[in-house]
């Protein structure tokens, strides 16, 4: 009997996306049963060459060779690399033994059936059957042993976590915390301080084992202890498979309003019209938000300008890195203006924030207040439709966050990005977009002039079956959105952020 793997684990093992794996299943290339695939079928569908291209075998070989050289040099206790190498070899041996046993089992079944059908079988016939069966069992190719051994090794290096009730999955690499791994995979678990104090990241261990890798001050109640609660921010997976019951944010209203003070790490020029503002939050006070959402950035009186100034901006980075927040600040910012002291840091009268950035009055080392998150321009994660992202000028900021998140959750069949600008070369991060297109199958990128956008979208194949995310100045995106609806795009599949 072949070994069975979940789709996530099989994709992890092959170094491909889960979507690519599902596509092959849909196309009938790869049999699956109940969300699982057999190692033998994987091996047949992705022959050895593909596995080598995934880099996993190369990595393992490098670890093995490196470990061997070190052992000769140092003659000390085995290093992590050496242990990994031994594990790999033992995994290979074990997998080969399992396969041999499976073949003997099959031979035994054949003999049993034959004897049941023909009780008078002669000794000569029996001998022939045995010889043929044994020859088959002993000569069968062994590459699947490598697959199984690699899987055994990956199980040690990265634990597989299933989240209930959503059924989402993620991998924990090394001894990283469950929270960090979940965020990296695009999940939105409930959490607060990130360092074991508030208790908001509590999760219940349903199966497997989690262990603390950092101290915590939070005290569980007796009931929580007996129900196997752990803190995701200080615990890692101890068993190779773990099932957790986790409170996840499914919609913007599940994310609480927060107000934190973050430090300006850098202010860089992206082009003549756009600056990149990088903020870093304190370790114990990170910003929880969903990809695509906005926040209000503010400078208090007496700091950079002597007046309270603020502006509302989409976060351009991914929630998977909740400490490092990136913003694209446009020179001709529509969200700027002066704010009289004393009014709340949000509302129609926003401050001249972008001027302060462009004039160097907001600089590295300054403290800024971050208030939010706001907005409902977020990814519809339960949709498996192709994703079409359309950015006009600095509308790329929330689109960037959404794309990074979509890549992390690995749920879309394909991603198309159109980035329009009125000025030639107005796409201020072209290399990043080209890198996505080069690195990801099923990702396309088209920079274009704003006037060409309606035609390009009209010609986009399968647009009416896609989730379309449109962001930019209201003057651009509102007519475009109206045209898309007239062209037949269902309103539920159109998501607009008019900045
Ligand atoms: S996030 Fe506060 S204890 Fe984990």
Domains in the chain: boundaries: 4-154, 165-248, 257-374, 387-498
CA–CA separation, 204 and 246 (whole Å): 7
Q: Which residues of the chain have pLDDT under 50?
A: 49, 51-53, 304-306, 334-351
Residues 62/151, Cβ–Cβ less than 8 Å? no
Tokens of 97: 């033994």
CA–CA separation, 362 and 68 (whole Å): 53
- CATH number listed for the domain at residues 257-374: 2.40.30.10
Residues 45/30, Cβ–Cβ less than 8 Å? yes
Q: Please state the φ and ψ torsions of residue 247, each to the nearest 5 degrees.
A: -85, 115
Q: Please tell me if the domain spanning 257-374 has the same topology as the one spanning 387-498.
A: no
Q: Please state the φ and ψ torsions of residue 420, each to the nearest 5 degrees.
A: -105, 145
CA 180 to centroid of ligand 1, rounded, Å: 12
Instruction: Report pLDDT for 146.
Output: 63
Fold of the 387-498 domain: Rossmann fold (3.40.50)
Instruction: Report pLDDT for 172.
Output: 92
3-class DSSP string for 421-444: ECCCCCCCCHHHHHHHHHHCCCEE
Q: Is the CB of 199 under 6 A from ligand 1?
A: yes
Strand, coil or helix: 228: coil
255 contact partners, CB below 8 Å, separation of at least 6: 188, 249, 288, 289, 290, 293, 373
CA 199 to centroid of ligand 1, rounded, Å: 5
359 contact partners, CB below 8 Å, separation of at least 6: none
| Nearest ligand 1 atom to alpha carbon 199 | 3
- The crossing angle, in degrees rounded to 10, of helices 7-14 and 18-26 is 110
Fold of the 165-248 domain: Ubiquitin-like (UB roll) (3.10.20)
Q: Is the CB of 192 under 6 A from ligand 1?
A: yes
| Nearest ligand 1 atom to alpha carbon 232 | 4
CA–CA separation, 476 and 470 (whole Å): 10
Span 235-278, pLDDT tens digits: 999 988 999 999 998 889 999 999 999 999 999 999 988 999 99
Tokens of 93: 């041996």
Q: Is the CB of 212 under 6 A from ligand 1?
A: no
What one-character DSSP code corresponds to residue 242?
Answer: E
CA 222 to centroid of ligand 1, rounded, Å: 18
Residues 150/84, Cβ–Cβ less than 8 Å? no
Instruction: Report pLDDT for 452.
Output: 94
């Amino acid at each position: 009997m072949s070994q069975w793997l979940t789709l996530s684990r099989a994709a992890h093992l092959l170094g491909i996306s889960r979507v690519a794996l599902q596509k092959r299943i849909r196309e009938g290339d790869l049999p699956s049963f109940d969300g699982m695939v057999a190692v033998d079928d994987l091996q047949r569908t992705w022959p050895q060459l593909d596995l080598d291209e995934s880099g996993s075998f190369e990595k393992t070989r490098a670890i093995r060779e490196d470990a061997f050289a070190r052992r000769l040099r140092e003659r000390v206790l085995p290093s992590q690399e050496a242990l990994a190498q031994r594990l790999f070899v033992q995994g290979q041996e074990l997998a080969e033994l399992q396969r041999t046993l499976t073949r003997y089992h099959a031979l035994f079944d054949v003999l049993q059936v034959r004897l049941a059908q023909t009780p008078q079988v002669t000794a000569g016939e029996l001998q022939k059957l045995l010889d043929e069966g044994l020859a088959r069992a002993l000569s069968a190719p062994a590459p699947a042993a490598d697959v199984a051994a690699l899987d055994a090794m990956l199980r040690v290096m990265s634990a597989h976590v299933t989240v209930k009730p959503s059924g989402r999955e993620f991998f924990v690499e090394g001894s990283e915390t469950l929270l960090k791994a979940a965020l990296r995979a695009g999940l939105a678990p409930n959490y607060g301080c990130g360092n074991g104090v508030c208790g908001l990241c509590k999760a219940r261990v349903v199966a497997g084992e989690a262990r603390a890798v950092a101290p915590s001050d939070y005290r569980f109640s007796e009931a929580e202890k007996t129900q196997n609660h752990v803190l995701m921010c200080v615990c890692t997976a101890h068993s190779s498979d773990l099932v957790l019951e986790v409170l996840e944010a499914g919609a913007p209203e599940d994310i609480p309003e927060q107000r934190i003070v973050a430090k300006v790490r850098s202010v860089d020029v992206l082009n003549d019209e756009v600056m990149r503002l990088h903020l870093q939050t304190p370790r114990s006070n990170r910003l929880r938000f969903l990809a695509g959402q906005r926040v209000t950035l503010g400078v208090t009186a007496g700091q950079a300008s002597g007046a309270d100034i603020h502006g509302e901006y989409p976060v351009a980075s991914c929630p998977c890195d909740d400490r490092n927040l990136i913003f694209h600040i446009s020179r001709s910012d529509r969200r700027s203006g002066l704010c009289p002291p004393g009014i709340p840091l949000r509302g129609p009268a926003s401050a001249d924030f972008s001027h302060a950035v462009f004039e160097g009055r907001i600089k590295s080392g300054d403290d800024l207040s971050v208030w939010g998150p706001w907005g409902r321009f977020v990814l519809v994660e339960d949709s498996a439709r192709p994703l079409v992202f359309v950015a006009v000028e600095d509308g790329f900021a929330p689109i960037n966050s959404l794309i990074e998140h979509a890549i992390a959750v690995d749920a879309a069949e394909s991603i198309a990005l159109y980035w329009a600008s009125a000025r030639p070369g107005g796409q201020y991060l072209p290399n990043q977009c080209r890198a996505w297109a080069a690195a990801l199958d099923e990702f396309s990128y088209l920079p274009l002039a704003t006037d060409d956008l309606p035609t390009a979208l009209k010609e986009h194949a399968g647009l009416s079956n896609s989730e379309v995310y449109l962001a930019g100045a209201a003057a651009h995106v509102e007519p475009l959105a109206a045209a898309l609806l007239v062209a037949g795009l269902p309103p539920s599949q159109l998501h607009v952020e008019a900045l």
